[in-house]
Amino acid sequence: MLWRELMGRLLTREVRTFLAVGGSGYVVDVAAFNLLRSMQAFAALDPSVARTLAVAVAMCVTYVGNRTLTWRHHTSGNRRREVGLFVLFNIIGFGFSIATLVISHDVLGLTSRLADNISANVVGLALGTVFRYVTYKRFVFASPVPDIPSSDNPTETAISHEVQIHTTRQTRTDLPTREVPVA
């Protein structure tokens, strides 16, 4: 029962949707990677070239999926900033995949297609997925923090802040109302 409760808390709708979008991106990523690795033009090149191109295609799929499904209610108001951060964090997350591929392929000498897939598409992708979820949620698709007006008059700022908080808070109708005198 403890395991089920823990999984229920961890696998929220947001996490499940993020993983489903990521799963779609993963399928595109792996298919493109293997397609490119099997093409004669890419066979002689380092596998990180095919990996880079596959990630670029998958990145387009996951941006659209996360924007329209996972965090559709979180509008940043600045799409250019959102896309820029998405690309930046994807490149960093991609670095996990490239690092594990380079270590496996070039350092350890595990050069089979299976070894390339395990290092890049299992180990590296898992590390990158955790990094991406945290950074997308915190920075890319985060809801903007409402501006609190500043004023030279502390009383005016406090009242304005209280009005802003009151208008964003849900009103409970089952509680008696209480009037608070304003100084």
pLDDT at 145: 62
Which structure tokens are listed for 9? 């808390």
pLDDT at 74: 81
pLDDT at 2: 80
Please measure the distance between the N-terminal and C-terminal CA atoms of the chain and give it in whole angstroms: 54
pLDDT at 174: 47
Per-residue pLDDT of 11-52, as tens digits, reads 899 999 999 999 999 899 889 999 999 999 988 889 989 988
Domain ranges of the chain: 12-140
Alpha-carbon distance of 56 to 28, in angstroms, equals 10
Per-residue pLDDT of 127-178, as tens digits, reads 999 999 999 999 999 876 666 555 555 555 444 444 444 444 444 444 455 5
